Chains A and B, each alone.
Chain A
Amino acid sequence: KQEVTQIPAALSVPEGENLVLNCSFTDSAIYNLQWFRQDPGKGLTSLLLIQSSQREQTSGRLNASLDKSSGRSTLYIAASQPGDSATYLCAPLGGGGNKLTFGTGTQLKVEL
């Protein structure tokens, strides 16, 4: 059974810092891995999807890397802004039925 761990659970940083959010998973037989953002009381917004054959994916200030063999993914946020404050979730996809397994997330607060 896939298990996903995200470290740190919470993070508070001043504006402008570059950030690293970590995700580890136990079963490396995955098709892809998605990073999501969740604002309080809201649904999930898909940020990046990395295919199992890819090493990284970039969108604006976000860069996600994937090391499938070691069961790790990292989300880099460059030049953080207060608007980046949210919970970030990673979810590898594997097994039958296109099933995502979610971590418990990293709660990020970027302060002015």
Chain B
Amino acid sequence: DGGITQSPKYLFRKEGQNVTLSCEQNLNHDAMYWYRQDPGQGLRLIYYSQIVNDFQKGDIAEGYSVSREKKESFPLTVTSAQKNPTAFYLCASSIGGVSNQPQHFGDGTRLSIL
């Protein structure tokens, strides 16, 4: 089935550690996104990529990094500079370049601090 796969489902980070969240899609979408969801708040955009080898900061990019070396993959690294990383992280993709196509989401990764 076509879709977006996020792994792992749960992730724990120690103080000072970098962790990487995986996002893979087989929808042949050009655009991919990372969002953060905190209780009582709407989803907030961290980074997005419209095409391979290109990405832009979203609204809350500090303490995060991404890469887009392959069309189907958009991993997110939560660095030690992110002081409040505990949240639910959602990856999405869309055909991109057109505004009449929806964004599709994965099932998320829940990150907690040990």
Interface residues of A (CB under 8 A from B): 4, 31-32, 34, 36, 41-46, 49, 51, 89, 91, 93, 97-105
Contact = CB atoms under 8 A, between A and B. Distances in A.
Nearest to B91: A43
Contact of A93 (B42, B48, B99, B106): B99
Interface residues of B, number: 30
A4 B42 CA distance: 9
Nearest to B98: A98
Given A101-B42, A102-B44, 14 more contacts: A41-B108, A43-B107, A44-B105, A46-B103, A46-B105, A51-B99, A91-B43, A93-B99, A98-B48, A98-B94, A98-B103, A103-B42, A104-B40, A105-B42
A97 B46 CA distance: 12
A65 to B, nearest CB: 17
A39 B107 CA distance: 10
Nearest to B107: A43
Contacts of A4: 42
Contacts of B94: 98
A102 B96 contact: no
A100 B45 contact: yes
A104 B41 contact: yes
Nearest to A94: B99
Contacts of B43: 44, 89, 91, 100, 102
